[in-house]
């Protein structure tokens, strides 16, 4: 049994960790909240609060937009999720799983398509810049923008 093994070795999945953080933050167990977490967990990149809300309502969940925001706020506060600002006025969120999952975004200004990319050389250069900056660097944002292959 996969579940038993997982608990046996004490390794919680991202959703399990997120749910327990919400409980610790005083959130009562709620199916809708669990759905927000499941939804975020199923994405491999960022998604806006309104889009999450729209999708959940379309699936028949009874959840308000304000609740979606509250769940996202707690997750962000606990660093289980991060805000992604792509400069179009929409705040998007994505699950923060581990170092391996770290990536950046390339955005099409014409159709709004967002693609993740990761580059180890870029990260190495950034680490060097961080070291020489004298700052305690907490993070970095990199967004490439332009026209995607269908729009150019
Ligand atoms: Zn992403
Ligand atoms: Zn495009
Ligand atoms: Zn990076």
User: What's the chain look like in SS3?
Assistant: CHHHHHHHCCCCCHHHHHHHHHHHCCCCCCHHHHHHHHHHHHCCCCEEHHHHHHHHHHCCCCCCHHHHHHHHHHHHHCCCEEEEECCCCCEEEEECCCHHHCCEEEEECCCCCEEEECCHHHHHHHHHHHHHHCCCCCCCCCEEEECCCCCC
- pLDDT band with cut points at 50, 70 and 90 for residue 41: very high
pLDDT band at 6 (very low <50, low <70, confident <90, very high): very low
Check residue 10 and give its pLDDT.
52
CA of 107 to the centre of ligand 2 (A): 8
The residue ranking higher by pLDDT, 26 or 110, is 110
CATH class of 1-96: mainly alpha
Q: In the structure, what pLDDT confidence band is assigned to residue 2 with cuts at 50, 70 and 90?
A: very low
Ligand 1 centroid from CA 141, angstroms = 11
Region 111-137 average pLDDT: 95
Q: Which ligand places an atom closest to the C-alpha of 85?
A: 1
Residue 102 CA to ligand 3 center (angstroms) comes to: 6
In CATH, the architecture of 102-152 is 2-Layer Sandwich (3.30)
Ligand 2 centroid to residue 135 C-alpha, Å: 37
The ligand that comes nearest to the alpha carbon of residue 93 is 1
Mean pLDDT is lowest, of 4-18, 57-71, 114-128, 138-152, for 4-18
Closest ligand to 151 CA?
A: 2
Is residue 87 over pLDDT 70?
yes
Ligand 2 centroid – CA 149 distance (Å):
7
Residue 95 has a pLDDT of: 93
Domain positions in the chain: 1-96, 102-152
pLDDT-derived band at 1 (thresholds 50, 70, 90) equals very low
| Confidence (pLDDT) at 54 | 97
Q: Which pLDDT belongs to residue 78?
A: 87
pLDDT > 50? residue 11: yes
The ligand minimizing its distance to the Cα of 92 is 1
Nearest listed ligand to the Cα of residue 109: 2
Q: Give the global pTM.
A: 0.79
């Amino acid at each position: 049994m996969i579940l038993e093994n997982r608990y046996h070795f004490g390794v919680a999945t991202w959703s399990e960790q997120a749910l327990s953080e919400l409980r610790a933050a005083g959130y009562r167990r709620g199916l809708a909240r669990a759905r927000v977490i499941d939804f975020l967990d199923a994405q491999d990149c960022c998604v806006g609060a309104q889009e999450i809300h729209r999708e959940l309502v379309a699936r028949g969940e009874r959840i308000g937009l304000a609740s979606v925001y509250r769940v996202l706020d707690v997750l962000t506060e606990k660093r289980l999720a991060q805000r992604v600002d792509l400069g179009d006025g929409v705040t998007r969120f994505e699950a923060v799983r581990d170092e391996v999952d770290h990536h950046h975004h390339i955005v099409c200004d014409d159709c709004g398509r967002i693609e993740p990319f990761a580059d180890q050389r870029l990260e190495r250069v950034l680490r060097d810049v961080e070291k020489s900056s004298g700052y305690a660097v907490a993070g970095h944002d990199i967004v490439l923008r332009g026209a995607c292959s269908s729009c150019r």
